[in-house]
Amino acid sequence: MNIIGPDYLVFGVDNVAAATDYLRDFGLQPVNVDETGGLFAALDGTGIVIRHKSDPSLPMPLPTANLLRQQVYGVRSADDLDVIEAELSKDRRVTRLADGSIETRDAHGFELKFQVTIRRELNMPAEKINAPGAPAQRKPNEIGVWEEMPAAPRTLSHVVLFVPDLEVATDFYCNRLGFVITDTLKGAGPFLRPKANDDHHTLFFIRTPEYMKGCEHLAFHMGGPTELMVAGTRFVKKGYQSFWGPGRHKFGSNWFWYFNSPLGCHVEYDADMDKHDDNWVAREAPMGAETSQIVLFEMREKWMPGGPPPGAKA
How would residue 213 be classed by pLDDT, with cut points 50, 70 and 90? very high
> Please, which residues have CB within 8 angstroms of residue 288's CB and are 6 or more apart in sequence?
187
The C-alpha atoms of residue 303 and residue 140 are separated, in whole angstroms, by: 29
pLDDT at 313: 64
Across residues 186-202, what is the average pLDDT?
A: 96
| Nearest-angstrom CA–CA distance, 30 and 117 | 19
Please state, rounded to an integer, the average pLDDT across all residues of the chain.
96
Please write the tens of the pLDDT for every residue from 5-55.
999 999 999 999 999 999 999 999 999 999 999 999 999 999 999 999 999
Which residue segment(s) compose the domain that 74 sits in? 3-120+153-296
Supply the pLDDT for residue 311: 66
Could you report the per-residue pLDDT of 74-88, keeping only the tens digit for each? 999 999 999 999 999
For residue 38, the surrounding DSSP H or E stretch is strand 37-41
* pTM (2 d.p.): 0.95
97 belongs to a structural domain = yes
The number of folded domains in the chain is 1
CATH code: domain of residue 255: 3.10.180.10
Distance CA 262, CA 23 (A): 9
Give the pLDDT of residue 124.
Answer: 95
pLDDT tens per residue, range 124-182: 999 999 999 999 999 999 999 999 999 999 999 999 999 999 999 999 999 999 999 99
Output DSSP code: residue 81. H
Residues 181-203: what's their mean pLDDT?
97
Residue 98 has pLDDT above 90, yes or no: yes
Give the confidence band of 206 by pLDDT, cuts at 50, 70, 90: very high
Segment among 91-95, 255-259, 304-308 with least mean pLDDT: 304-308
pLDDT tier for residue 306 given thresholds of 50, 70 and 90: confident
Predicted confidence at residue 314, as pLDDT, reads 55
Minimal CA–CA distance to 19: which of 69, 63, 88, 84? 69
**Residue 129 domain-assigned (yes or no):** no
